[in-house]
A and B are shown apart, each in its own frame.
Chain A
Amino acid sequence: MREKVAIAGIGYTAFTSVSPGSSYRELTYEAAVKAYEEAGIEPKDVDSFVCTSEDMLEGYSISDEYCNDQLGAVLKPVQTIPGDFLHSLAVGVMHILTEKFDIVVVQALSKASNMKTIPEMVNFAMDPVLNRPLDITAYAVAGLEMNRFLEEGKATREQCATVVVKNKANALANPSAGYGARITVDHVLESEPVAEPVRLLDIAPYADGAVVVVLCAEKIAASLTDKPVWINGIGWSSDSPTLESRDWTDAVAVRLAGDMAYRMAGIRCPAKEIDLAEINDEISFKELQHLEALRLFEPGQAGRATEDGVTSPQGKLPVNVSGGGLGVGHLFECSGAQKVLELVLQLRGEAGARQVLGARVGLAQAWRGIPTTSAAVAILSA
């Protein structure tokens, strides 16, 4: 029987458009103190630390060197993943599955407000020889993909806008969310065009924040927490980086990452077995595309289901009850961490006004963002 991995503690800051009172150090420290307090541990009890950090986002070369102090990871085993938090979580899970580590801490942070040229930075992710000389915005990649998605009849433009309306409304019930609002489909459709069909309100606005999670092996879980949340499955995958020949309609990497996580969790019929999902919605239509890729809806059905309220907090499959990226804010490499946080709160029954009744199994999905095709998925249960 394989060792099981539990989340024994989680700590987080508020997710805000700016955080001028804190550096990245104090943000992570705040989240770490809360996480360790919950699990009743101190840094000396931790066997390894996994951080999430990408140099271009932090503005430091070899930014992983700056992760240690604020986690209490000085003079301890630390490694850093330049990916989403869910990729780091996968590494943390693997550490425990080796049975050489009993307690592993996983961290992620966003200091988006400190990056002053985000569009240029995203543009820098495009191929320097083939794509960058064309002088087109990286948001075009989202526009190209959404256009093909709509052309294939996967959803209507209005259904994509409904995702924004739902997630921003959900965020109003989340005290940690930075971008809650009550808006209409027309507000989205009439917002400023960015890279048509993508409009300004289709894009998740940036946010700052930090999340720290304490993982532990099943054999010690009871000594750290009365409310363990189990990581039943985790998976990750990538499609091709080329903009010339990738799949422009379906999120293939998300499908593969999801299938990997389902296999590990022993889930055969996702639509019946998942109670709620936190899905990457960095651009409105991505929520619908990702839901289909994860087999939570039949092809072409996620948009109508959203219109019909199936993915609302009271629906059959609540999606992004937290507010998602559109309502909480886009947290870059911390995005997946906010999704895991929401699932942990929901599965423990601690989500307050937005508690989903009877939530037992949750799915968190991350995408590395424009212009990538990298994804990761985690399945959690109470």
Chain B
Amino acid sequence: MELEKFELGATPLKESAMKDGKVLTLHKKPNLKYAWDNGPAIDRYLAELKKGRIIARKCNKCRRIMIPPRMFCELCWRPTDEWVYVEDTGVVNTFSICYVNWDASRIKKGDKPHLPAVIEIDGASDGMGILHVLGEVEPDKVKIGMKVKAVWKKPEEREGAITDILYFKPMRG
């Protein structure tokens, strides 16, 4: 039997028990809203994504080129020094094939699974990359070490968000 919703742990109350009034229930929706200030590093990163470019920050002490960019080097404990453009290509460091959506609801029958992946970006230091999703690829064809390239939204549709990159797709050859 296929689970409607992915659950870990003890047996939950059934929705029917609540609907039928077998248990006392109270409904109140929290209204919690946040508007996070990104700071100079992530602000520039997102502004560059809107232009179809990926930007990193370089620490001139350890010489790491870091994305997502940051204004200080957490290892050298000093401000970072330079903005550096990096490529929109990279290598799959790791990936997963997900048959459930973000809220653990099961994907519809026949829908393709989600393919989140960590992509080490060309031009950034080893181990530095972007968490994104893969596209234009069958799940069983995805391999660690695979070369991939960003597929961007049309310029007029970009909004300065990580989703300005639609997904990364395999490069030929």
User: Which A residues fall within an 8 A CB radius of B?
Assistant: 19-26, 29, 36, 42-43, 56, 59, 68-70, 72, 74, 111, 113-117, 120-121, 124, 128-129, 132-133
Q: How many residue pairs, one in A and one in B, have C-beta atoms under 8 Å apart? A: 69
Contact A128 B74, CB 8 Å, known A25-B39, A114-B34, A117-B33: no
In chain B, positions 82-130 with a C-beta closer than 8 Å to chain A are: none
Contact between chains at A117 and B42 (CB < 8 Å): no
- A342 CA / B14 CA spacing, docked (Å): 54
B26 within 8 A of A: yes
Which A residues touch B32, using CB under 8 A? 56, 59, 117, 120-121, 124
B35 within 8 A of A: yes
Contact between chains at A69 and B34 (CB < 8 Å): no
Residue among A23, A56, A72, A120 with the highest chain B CB neighbour number at 10 A: A23
Closest B residue, CB atoms, query A69: B74
3 nearest interchain CB pairs? Answer: A23-B39, A59-B34, A116-B33
Main secondary structure of the interface of B (DSSP, over half): loop
Closest chain A CB from B32 CB (angstroms): 6
Which A residues touch B146, using CB under 8 A? none
Contact between chains at A26 and B71 (CB < 8 Å): yes
- A111 CA / B34 CA spacing, docked (Å): 10
B40 within 8 A of A: yes
Which B residues touch A120, using CB under 8 A? 30-32
B16 within 8 A of A: no
Closest chain B CB from A110 CB (angstroms): 13
- A24 CA / B31 CA spacing, docked (Å): 22
Could you list some 24 contacts between A and B, CB below 8 A? Answer: A19-B37, A21-B39, A22-B37, A22-B39, A23-B37, A23-B38, A23-B39, A23-B42, A24-B37, A26-B40, A59-B32, A69-B70, A69-B74, A70-B72, A72-B74, A72-B77, A74-B75, A114-B37, A115-B33, A117-B31, A120-B31, A121-B32, A124-B30, A129-B26
Closest chain A CB from B76 CB (angstroms): 9
Known contacts A23-B37, A56-B32, A59-B32; 11 additional CB pairs below 8 A are A21-B37, A25-B70, A25-B71, A72-B77, A74-B75, A111-B36, A114-B35, A114-B37, A116-B34, A117-B33, A124-B32
In chain B, positions 6-41 with a C-beta closer than 8 Å to chain A are: 26, 28, 30-40
- A20 CA / B43 CA spacing, docked (Å): 11
Closest B residue, CB atoms, query A57: B34
- A72 CA / B71 CA spacing, docked (Å): 13
Q: A68 touches which one: B31, B39, B74 (CB < 8 A)?
A: B74
Closest A residue, CB atoms, query B77: A72
- A56 CA / B40 CA spacing, docked (Å): 24
Which B residues touch A70, using CB under 8 A? 72, 74
Contact between chains at B28 and A26 (CB < 8 Å): no
Which A residues touch B75, using CB under 8 A? 74
Contact A114 B36, CB 8 Å, known A23-B42, A29-B71, A72-B77: yes
- A199 CA / B37 CA spacing, docked (Å): 30
Contact A23 B33, CB 8 Å, known A132-B28, A133-B28: no
Which A residues touch B42, using CB under 8 A? 23
- A22 CA / B39 CA spacing, docked (Å): 4
Closest chain A CB from B173 CB (angstroms): 37
Closest A residue, CB atoms, query B31: A120
Which A residues touch B77, using CB under 8 A? 36, 42-43, 72
- A125 CA / B121 CA spacing, docked (Å): 43
Contact between chains at B37 and A111 (CB < 8 Å): yes
Which A residues touch B74, using CB under 8 A? 68-70, 72, 74
- A42 CA / B77 CA spacing, docked (Å): 8
B129-158 CB contact bits vs A (8 Å, 1 = yes)?
000000000000000000000000000000
Which B residues touch A29, using CB under 8 A? 71-72
- A128 CA / B36 CA spacing, docked (Å): 27
- A117 CA / B40 CA spacing, docked (Å): 25
Contact between chains at B37 and A115 (CB < 8 Å): no
Contact A133 B26, CB 8 Å, known A22-B39, A23-B39, A42-B77: yes
Closest chain A CB from B45 CB (angstroms): 12
Which A residues touch B38, using CB under 8 A? 23
Which B residues touch A72, using CB under 8 A? 74, 77
Contact A21 B36, CB 8 Å, known A43-B77, A69-B70: no
